[in-house]
């Protein structure tokens, strides 16, 4: 592989040398940072050039708190970001549901009641009336709340007597009936009822997200809460050297498999561009 010389305006983020005119890259690693002449002299054999012109280069950008699988889902689900009312959200969901087979789950994300006039959590009634033939589960913009219709609550077996799980809350009316909004770990009551992707589909979804992140200029992402199926998919991709950027994955600390996952990754820690050495805990 020939050496690569990148010439132009480079920001190093090194206080001792914050700027440079060129870098020499050999076998994927920086060999020399300095002037163009210095880098050319340090080259060995063939030399390939990238001229930045009026552009500039910066060190690789890292997303320190991401959720690639959730990101991939948002690319194929109903988008609720920017909706200014519960009614607008329901209208978007109804249009989306109209093209899905009856009984299929409708997933979506991005709603934020703080953008609405009343700023109250939504409920299941309007959503259920607009989607009578589909279960619906919609993630809040921060992924800490799930808005569901009656079909989704029914599929999860959630009724007035269902207790709040540790670390979560079922939002209820004054009479104790669930409103349709689930907080934090209570979301899992419904999410467990949603058919999950196959192993291959999980890989495809992760790759869809990771390639989009790489295209945006990221060179690494920290997946802040990866369950066993996601960790397994990352491992398979890493073993085949198919990860388009580096992934630092945190084990989901809520799963029943936590001890097994921690034990397994203490032994492996890293595979190619994948590193797993921490746990995401929820207060």
pLDDT tens digit sequence for 214-256:
999 999 999 999 999 999 999 999 999 999 999 999 999 987 7
Confidence of residue 212 (pLDDT cuts 50, 70, 90): very high
Average pLDDT over the chain reads 94
> Do 135 and 106 contact (CB within 8 A), yes or no?
yes
pLDDT at 173: 96
pTM for this model (two decimals): 0.69
Share of the chain above pLDDT 70, in %: 100
3-59: CATH architecture:
Roll (2.30)
- CA–CA–CA angle 129, 135, 136 (5° rounding): 80
pLDDT category of residue 180 using cuts at 50, 70 and 90: very high
Instruction: Compute the distance between CA of residue 171 and CA of residue 158 in angstroms, rounded to an integer.
Output: 11
| Residue 220 CB neighbours (<10 A) | 19
- Encode the chain in three state secondary structure: CCEEEEEEEEECCCCCCCEEEEEEEECCEEEEEECHHHHHHHCCCCEEEEEEEEEEECCCEEEEEECHHHHHHHCCCEECCCCCCHHHHHHHHHHHHCCCCCCCCEEEEEECHHHCCCCCCCCHHHHHHHCCCCCEEEEECCCCEEEECHHHHHHHCCCCCCCCCCCEEEEECCCCCEEEEEEECCHHHHHCCCCCCCHHHHHHHHHHHHHHHHHCCEEEEEEEEECHHHHHHHHHHHHCCCCCCEEEEEEECCCCCHHHHHHHHHHHCEECCEEEEEEECCC
Helices (H) then strands (E): counts for the chain = 9, 15
Q: Which residues make Cβ contacts (< 8 Å) with residue 31, sequence separation at least 6?
A: 3, 24, 25, 42
Q: Which tens digits make up the pLDDT trace of 56-98?
A: 999 899 999 999 998 998 888 999 999 999 999 999 999 999 9
Q: Can you tell me the mean pLDDT for 183-204?
A: 95
Q: Give the pLDDT band (50/70/90) at residue 5.
A: confident
pLDDT (0 to 100) of residue 226: 94
Phi, psi of 65, deg, nearest 5: -155, 95
* Radius of gyration for the chain, computed over Cα atoms and rounded to the nearest angstrom: 24
| Rounded average pLDDT over 260-274 | 93
How far is residue 136's CA from residue 270's CA, in Å, rounded to a whole number? 37
Comparing 138 with 261, the larger pLDDT belongs to: 138
Q: Is residue 167 pLDDT above 90, yes or no?
A: yes
Q: Write down the pLDDT at residue 74.
A: 83
The CATH architecture of the domain made up of 75-191 is Roll (3.10)
Residues 6+ apart with CB under 8 A from 212: 71, 75
* Res 28 pLDDT > 80: yes
pLDDT of residue 51: 96
User: What number is the average pLDDT over the span 115-138?
Assistant: 97
Helix axes 258-268, 228-239, angle to 10 degrees: 20
């Amino acid at each position: 592989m020939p050496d690569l010389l990148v010439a132009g305006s480079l920001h190093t983020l090194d206080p001792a040398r914050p700027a440079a005119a060129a870098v020499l890259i050999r076998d994927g690693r920086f060999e020399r940072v300095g002037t163009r002449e210095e880098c050319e002299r340090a080259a060995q054999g063939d030399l390939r050039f990238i001229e930045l012109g009026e552009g500039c280069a910066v060190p690789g950008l890292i997303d320190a708190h991401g959720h690639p699988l959730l990101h991939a889902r948002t690319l194929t689900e109903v988008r609720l970001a920017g909706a200014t009312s519960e009614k607008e959200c329901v209208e978007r969901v109804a249009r989306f549901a109209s093209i899905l087979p009856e009984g299929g789950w409708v997933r979506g994300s991005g709603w934020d009641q703080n953008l609405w006039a009343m700023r109250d959590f939504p409920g299941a009634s309007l959503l259920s009336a607009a989607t009578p033939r589909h279960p619906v589960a919609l993630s809040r913009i921060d992924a800490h709340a799930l808005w569901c219709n009656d079909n989704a609550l029914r599929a999860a077996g959630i009724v007035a007597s269902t207790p709040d799980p540790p670390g979560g809350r079922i939002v209820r009316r004054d009479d104790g009936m669930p409103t349709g909004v689930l907080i934090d770990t209570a979301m899992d009551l419904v999410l467990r009822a949603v058919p999950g992707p196959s192993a291959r589909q999980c890989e495809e979804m992760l790759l869809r997200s990771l390639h989009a992140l790489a295209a945006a200029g990221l060179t690494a992402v920290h997946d802040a809460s990866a369950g066993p199926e996601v960790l397994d998919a990352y491992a398979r991709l890493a073993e085949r050297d198919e990860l388009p950027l580096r992934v630092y994955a945190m084990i989901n600390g809520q799963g029943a498999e936590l001890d097994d996952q921690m034990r397994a990754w203490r032994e492996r820690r890293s595979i190619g561009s994948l590193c797993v050495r921490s746990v995401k805990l929820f207060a």
